Structure 1
Amino acid sequence: MRPHGIRAQQREQTRQALLREGRRLFAGSGYGAVGLAEIVQAAGVTKGALYHHFTGKADLFRAVLEESQQEVARRVAVAADAHDDPWARLTAGCEEFLTATADPDIQRIMLVDGPAVLGWSEWRAMDEAASARHLADALSLLIDSGIITPQPVAPLVHLLSGAMNEAALWLASSSDPADLDHTKAALARLLGALRTA
């Protein structure tokens, strides 16, 4: 391997170590309780290496949040894509969102610290980029197929997304393991009310 290729590989390994350790620390302790010195020590790199890849702790957190959102979006897509029926795709995707966000690490990064650290507007824009388009596409297909009553899609996307994010936050504070199943059942009833028949 040429020296340039080796350096590029080392830079990527450093970046991945920072993301991995940043995610572990942010999820375990919360953004406010984690310092840069702790992150670089855990990653086995210098502060200079961190600043080579990120402008600071908030920028590293943004990258960790984006990774978490993409992970959840992939899980939702896999669950939805396992079905041919458009209604089953929607319900399976929504249920998988609740399952994925029941993970305390995901909850803390995506739903608790994300809006607090980045601000509501930036967090919302990232959330929309990661998942709202898929939900809008699924709902549009159901409307076009006559399964859901014709209506503007954007308000419906925001209502459902908000309801699922709120449910995920509630599940984060719940100590009853049955609450996830109860929440999925409530979601199924909520979605079912959208059907024309």
Structure 2
Amino acid sequence: MPKIIGASLHEHREQTRLRLFDALSRLMAEQGFDAITLAQIAAEAGVGRTAVYNHFSDKESLLLGFITYETEQYAVALQKALDDIDDPVERLRTYVRQQVELASSHHVTPGPELRTVLSRGTQQRMREHVVVVERILRGILTAGIESGVFPEQDLDVTVPLVNACLSGRGVAEDAAGRERALEQTEAFVLRAVGATAPVRA
């Protein structure tokens, strides 16, 4: 009988899922998703291959589970950073910073390589998870438009444009370079949405 991880069966299942997610993340950092096998994932996670099938029917369903988990964690951290801010411009600045900084520790957005190897149904379901983050930005911009801080605009166009600008945005590792990049990105996004509040120098 396989060893139980954690104090209960529920905790065991959750810990196993997290091990599989961590393993998939590490392997995807080293090679393309299409080259990874379930046997590799199981070995990397330190679990038996049958344990993978107890949670996921195939590699794509494992990826979807991973993306769902990452999106939920990402959205919670993003919303927490916004909770105590009322001003739409400051909320947008915070959103920009969080998107850039959180992206370095989360794997929410599938890259071009994934879109070439996943089924259309899986691609669509992955897109649904991106909508969770887009909804937060839409709320910020809607409030800004209603208060007159941002001009009227088509958010179906603006929201994906802003997020496209922020996705995969690398920043310098040194503190000064990082701060400069973040300030310039903030200023660019504020100009893009037509913010009437002064942009920081």
TM over 0.5, yes or no?
yes
Q: Deviations over 1:140-185 (max 9, x none)?
A: 11111111112332222122122222xx25x3xx888637733541
1:49 aligns with 2:64: no
Match of 2:160 in 1: 158
Matches for 1:133-148 after TM superposition, within 5 Å: 133-148=135-150
Q: What is the RMSD computed on CA atoms of the aligned residues?
A: 2.9
Is the 8 Å Cα contact of residues 80 and 92 (structure 1) preserved in structure 2?
yes
Match of 2:20 in 1: 18
Is the 8 Å Cα contact of residues 72 and 97 (structure 1) preserved in structure 2?
no
- Give, in whole Å, the separation in 2 of the partners of 1:132 and 1:117: 24
Query: 83-92 or 183-192: which moved more?
Result: 183-192
Match of 1:110 in 2: 109
Structure 2 gaps of 5+ residues are 1-6
* CA 62–181 in structure 1, closer or farther in 2 if over 3 Å, else same: farther
Higher helix share: 1
Match of 1:70 in 2: 72
Indicate the SS of the match to 1:148.
coil
- Give, in whole Å, the separation in 1 of the partners of 2:48 and 2:161: 44
Indicate the SS of the match to 1:110.
coil
Is the 8 Å Cα contact of residues 172 and 181 (structure 2) preserved in structure 1?
no
Aligned residues: 184
* CA 12–68 in structure 1, closer or farther in 2 if over 3 Å, else same: closer
Matches for 1:175-186 after TM superposition, within 5 Å: 178=177, 181-182=180-181, 184-186=183-185
Q: 1:90 aligns with which of 71, 89, 92?
A: 92
* CA 16–175 in structure 1, closer or farther in 2 if over 3 Å, else same: closer
Match of 2:195 in 1: 195
- Percent identity reads 26
- Give, in whole Å, the separation in 2 of the partners of 1:151 and 1:16: 41
Q: Deviations over 1:40-76 (max 9, x none)?
A: 1222322222112101111111211222223332332
- Give, in whole Å, the separation in 1 of the partners of 2:64 and 2:188: 35
Is the 8 Å Cα contact of residues 67 and 126 (structure 2) preserved in structure 1?
no
- Give, in whole Å, the separation in 2 of the partners of 1:21 and 1:99: 22
- The amino acid across from 1:195 in the alignment is A
- Give, in whole Å, the separation in 2 of the partners of 1:7 and 1:72: 26
With the length of structure 1 as denominator, give the TM-score of the two structures.
Answer: 0.76
* CA 12–183 in structure 1, closer or farther in 2 if over 3 Å, else same: closer
Q: Shift of the alpha carbon at 1:85? A: 1.9
- Give, in whole Å, the separation in 1 of the partners of 2:151 and 2:178: 30
- The amino acid across from 1:192 in the alignment is R
